[in-house]
Amino acid sequence: MPTTSHAKTNAGGKRRSAALEPYLLLAPAVLILAAFFAYPLLKGITLAFYHYVLFEPQNIYFAGLDNFKKIVADPNLPLILRNSVLWVALTVGLQFLLGFVLALALNKTFRGKNLYQSVVFLPWAVSGFLIGMMFKWMFNAQNGLINYWLVKAGIVAKGVPFLALPHVSIFPVIVAMVWYGVPFFGIMILAALQSIPHDIYESAEIDGAGSWTKLFKITIPYIKPTLIVTVLLRVIWVFNSADLIYIMTNGGPANSSDNLPSYILSQIFNTSDFGVASALGLLMLVLLTVYTVIFLYVTKYEDAGDI
């Protein structure tokens, strides 16, 4: 064994390389994270403090808090933040509620369940752009399906241009987003429900528990970790999503359906001002971090156990 004899003569070196070994093994992962995650993140954060407009490559300089001052002075910002909260609260709230109901319904056996299950989970597999186009068409005032029904049912006399009305146009997008996201909650919650042992329900029934008691005392506590994680992820996801807004209304009319990311998108797209856009991005990062910390604290995630 040449290795061992060699090692014996140089015990100190061996100890040093043994101490180094874990770091070497971690190095590839760390380097990949550093190159593709940490570097862009740091770059984005530094950009937020620079005057950086793509049209003016000779005119890049450290601008301190100028970009943030510009954001705070932006008269659109309160509206955009309000929209973002509305967008997340309504979308995730409805997705959660409907997804939970869906999962409860699918947790029973009935004829044709497999077929039904694959059909209701389908929206999850459809591209966001397609969904945007579909719902845009459905909400069309002239030829849209929804207006057709409303007129037939006598609720309105004439097609309503939902997507053209300020402060209304965001709701059709929320409807589309809810439809898009229900299966995600459905799948996650259903998986958790199937892990609950049946004997617990049986003994609860013997003790005389009704369906509501079973739901609130057994089902929900049992799947609480899943609920917390899915809601947490979903909020971040929905908060960050701009595709449906971009397709259905492009934020209009007059920004009344813009959320923060779609606003950032239009900022970058037309101003090429990466400084301001990065500052908005940083604002988003801070908001989401604060949200995550508060959310985990309020839901006592640590006490809820592992999933």
Partner 1 sequence: MQRKMFIVLVCAALALMMALAGCSPAGQSGQSQNGSSGSQTTQGGNGGTPAKPVKLTYLDPLPSPERTALMQDLLKRFHDQNPNIEVEYQSVPWDQASKKWLAMGASGTLPDVVSIDDTSMTGLAAAGYIENLQPYYDKWSQTGNLTEASKLSRNKYKGNVYAIPDGFGLQGLFVRTDWFKELNLEPKIETWDDYFDLAKKLTDPAKGRYGISFRGGANGILRAMEYVVNAVHTDSWFEKDGKSILYRPEAAAAFKKFYSVYLDGYAPKESINWGFNEMVQGFMNGQAGILNQTPEVIVTADKNMKPGTWTVLPMPKASDGKRYMTWGYTAGYAMSAKSQNKAEAWKLIEFLSSPEINLEYCKKFSAIPIYKKNMDDPFFKQGPIAGYAASLADANIVYSTPPSYLTELPNFSGTYAVQETQKYLTGAQSLDDTVKHLADFLTQAQQKYMKENPQ
Q: Segment 59-78, which members bind partner 1 (CB under 8 A)?
A: 76
Q: Which of 7, 104, 218, 296 binds partner 1 (CB under 8 A)?
A: 7
Q: Segment 31-50, which members bind partner 1 (CB under 8 A)?
A: 31-32, 34-35, 39
Collect all residues with Cβ–Cβ distance below 8 Å to 279 and sequence separation of at least 6. 48, 49, 67, 68, 70, 71
Q: Which residue has the tokens 């597999």?
A: 125
CB closer to partner 1 out of 172 and 181 = 172
Q: Which of 93, 149, 156, 166 binds partner 1 (CB under 8 A)?
A: 166
Q: How many residues bind partner 1 (CB under 8 A)?
A: 46
Distance, CA of 131 to CA of 125 (rounded, Å): 10
- Is 147 a binder of partner 1 (CB under 8 A)? no
Q: Segment 237-276, which members bind partner 1 (CB under 8 A)?
A: 249-250, 252-256, 266-272
Distance, CA of 207 to CA of 29 (rounded, Å): 53
Q: Which of 11, 19, 24, 153 binds partner 1 (CB under 8 A)?
A: 24
**Cβ of residue 137: shortest distance to partner 1, in angstroms?**
10
Distance, CA of 179 to CA of 103 (rounded, Å): 15
**Contact call for residues 161 and 77 (beta carbons, < 8 A):** no
Distance, CA of 127 to CA of 219 (rounded, Å): 33
Q: Which of 21, 41, 72, 126 binds partner 1 (CB under 8 A)?
A: 21
CB closer to partner 1 out of 188 and 264 = 264
18: left (phi over 0), alpha (psi -120 to 50) or beta: alpha
Tokens of 288: 């989401």
Collect all residues with Cβ–Cβ distance below 8 Å to 178 and sequence separation of at least 6. 90, 91, 94, 95, 98
Distance, CA of 288 to CA of 291 (rounded, Å): 5
**Cβ of residue 24: shortest distance to partner 1, in angstroms?**
5
**Cβ of residue 54: shortest distance to partner 1, in angstroms?**
5
DSSP designation for 273: B
Distance, CA of 95 to CA of 92 (rounded, Å): 5
Q: Which of 22, 28, 112, 305 binds partner 1 (CB under 8 A)?
A: 28
Tokens of 157: 């006399």
Q: Which of 6, 16, 69, 300 binds partner 1 (CB under 8 A)?
A: 6
Comparing CA positions, the residue from 191, 179, 159, 166 lying closest to residue 251 is 166
- Is 127 a binder of partner 1 (CB under 8 A)? no
- Is 108 a binder of partner 1 (CB under 8 A)? no
**Cβ of residue 302: shortest distance to partner 1, in angstroms?**
35
Q: Which of 86, 104, 128, 140 binds partner 1 (CB under 8 A)?
A: 140
- Site of interaction with partner 1 (CB under 8 A): 3, 6-7, 17, 21, 24-25, 27-28, 31-32, 34-35, 39, 53-58, 76, 140-143, 158, 161, 163-166, 169, 249-250, 252-256, 266-272
